[in-house]
A and B are shown apart, each in its own frame.
Chain A
C-alpha cells in the first residue's frame, strides 16, 4: 500500500511496510468490516444487558501483556521453554493484569452478532479493581447500557459493567465506561 496506489491517501509504508499482496489482503479485510457497519448509537437501547463468559488462559494473558510491553513476572502462567507454569505473585500463583478484563468488556458491549460499530471511540472509564484474578479463572462479564447522552454535539453511550467468577460468583471488577458514537 503506497501513496501511488491510493491517490490522496497518505503513504502507509513508513509505518507499516507491506507487499502488494499484503496490501490487497488488508483492503479485502477492511472492506469486509466496513460493508456491514452501523453507528453504535443506533444499536443500543438503555437497559440492554449482555453477558459472556471468558476463560482467562495463560496464553491470553501473555498476548495482552505483550501488546503493551508489560513484562511483570506476576502475570506469567506461561513461559517460553517451560510453557504452562503455576507462576508466582503476592497472591500465590500468577494473576492477570489489573485492567485486563476491562479490555474485554468491549467484546461484550459490542454485540458480536450485530454489524461492526463504525467510528466508535472509548472515551472514559471509572474502574474498581476489587480482587486479584488468578490466571486460568473463568469470568462472566456483564454489561448494561445505563445512559445515552449528547454533550457538545457528540453522542455517548454509557455502560455499567461487572466481572464475576463464573464458579464462585466473587465480584472481581466493576466499571462505568463511555463510548463516543458517530
Chain B
C-alpha cells in the first residue's frame, strides 16, 4: 500500500501484461477455534466451535464455515487485483472438504486464461485453499476485468 493506503503494492498488481501461468502470492491462516466460534462467524452452529457437539454429529473436530476460506481467497485476490475485484468480478467456489479446527490453511491461485475484452483482458484464475498436507478444502475460480 502507498501512504494513503488506497493502492496495491506494485510487485503484486496484476496488469494486462501479466502472463497465463502467473502464480498469486499465497496467504496462510490458522483455523483458530475461537475465531470459528465468534458470534459473527459460527456461533449459531456448534459444529463450528464445540468439539463435543461436533463429535456427536460425526465430525472429528469442529469445522470452519466454508465462507471463511472463501474470504481468505478473496483477500488474496484483492491483494493482486485491487479495485478491479470489486466491479464486475465473479468468484465460484466449491467446498470439497471440511477445514477442521487448528489446521493451517494456505490460499493459492494460478492465472489459467486471459480473454480479450475492451482494451484489456478478463482474467480467469484457478483458486484453491489447502491444508499443510496439500489436501484441497476449497476449489474454484475467479474472473476479473483488468485494463478493460
> Which of A42-50, A62-70, A162-170 contacts the other chain?
A62-70
Q: How far is the CB of B50 from chain A (nearest CB, A)?
A: 6
| Interface locus among A88-96, A135-143, A144-152 | A88-96
Chain A residue nearest to B85 (CB atoms) is A98
Residue among A72, A73, A88, A122 making CB contact with B67, cutoff 8 Å: A122
Whether the pair B62, A125 counts as a contact (CB closer than 8 A) is no
* Distance between Cα atoms of A11 and B51 in the complex (Å): 8
Residue of B nearest to A110 (CB): B44
What is the chain A residue whose CB lies nearest that of B68? A68
A123 at the interface (CB under 8 A from B): yes
Contact yes or no, A122 B66, CB < 8 A? yes
Interface centre among B38, B45, B49, B87 (most CB of A within 10 A): B45
Contact count band on B: 35 or more
Inter-chain pairs besides A16-B33, A123-B94, 18 sampled, C-beta below 8 Å:
A6-B52, A9-B51, A15-B51, A15-B101, A16-B34, A33-B46, A64-B40, A67-B38, A68-B29, A68-B71, A88-B4, A89-B6, A90-B82, A99-B71, A120-B45, A121-B95, A124-B93, A125-B70
7 closest A-B pairs by CB:
A90-B83, A73-B5, A12-B51, A132-B86, A68-B71, A67-B41, A63-B40
Give residues in B with beta carbon < 8 Å to A. Answer: 1, 4-7, 29, 33-35, 37-41, 44-47, 49-53, 55-57, 61-62, 65-68, 70-72, 74-75, 77-78, 82-83, 85-95, 101-102
Hey, which bits of chain A sit against chain B, CB under 8 A?
A: 1, 6, 9-12, 15-16, 26, 29-30, 33, 60, 63-64, 66-70, 72-74, 88-91, 95, 97-99, 102-103, 116, 119-132
